[in-house]
Amino acid sequence: MKETSLIKPSMDVFLTSDAARMLEAVRRLVPKKGGRGFLLGHRRGNRVYVEAVLPSPSSAWPSLRSFYEMDAGLGRKIVGFFLIGAPAAARAPLLRPFGTGKVLVEIPLPGGKKRPPAGSLIDYHDRFLFKKIRVVVERPAGRKEEKRP
């Protein structure tokens, strides 16, 4: 039987500088139990481009029907999910058909050790699973701070 994996060699998640700033803002605002939401963007080749984030007002993932309605309303722009300081159990509901091919970016809560975001692809090979992938954060080039008089 041939393997049917969605992951490609050297696949990664690219957070635009705007998306990275939005995630940082949400990270600073989330309660100690953590936050969650959706990553909006597009996929090109081996890269998933995240251009915006949509925080969830709920501490649970939406129903399957609500997810598909929201994705349709957003022009099918949901490319993945994010978790901020959430327990590992918050990942499990994503291991379903609607999550397959999407990415998960996990970010630690403020305080403690400064760790970079962790990325995973939600994949399927005889079962649903998370496969680690790299997260690349765009740094604006040539940006200089304004001097104040």
Reduce the secondary structure of 23-86 to three states and give it as a string. Answer: HHHHHHHCCCCCEEEEEEEEEECCEEEEEEEEECCCCCCCCHHHHHHHHHHCCCCEEEEEEECC
Model pTM?
0.84
Task: Assign 137 a pLDDT band (cuts: 50, 70, 90).
Answer: very high
Asked if residue 7 is part of any domain, the answer here is no
Domain enclosing residue 118, as ranges: 12-137
Q: Is residue 124 part of a domain?
A: yes
Q: Count structural domains, the chain.
A: 1
Which residues, including other chains, have CB under 8 Å from residue 68's CB and lie 6 or more apart? 98
Does 145 reside within a domain? no
- Residue 65 placed within a domain: yes
Beta-bridged to residue 7, according to DSSP, are none
What is the structure's pLDDT at 22? 93
Residue 120 dihedral angles phi and psi, to the nearest 5°: -145, 150
Checking if the pLDDT of 43 tops 90, the result is: yes
pLDDT band at 1 (very low <50, low <70, confident <90, very high): very low
pLDDT higher than 80, residue 99 = yes
- Does residue 146 surpass a pLDDT of 50? no
What's 54's domain CATH number? 3.40.140.10
- Is residue 128 domain-resident? yes
Residues, the chain, total?
149
What is the rounded distance in angstroms from the CA atom of residue 70 to the CA atom of residue 61?
12
Residue 123 lies in a domain: yes
Q: Is residue 81 assigned to a domain?
A: yes
pLDDT in tens, 13-31: 999 999 999 998 998 887 6
Distance CA 120, CA 118 (A): 7
* 56 part of a folded domain: yes
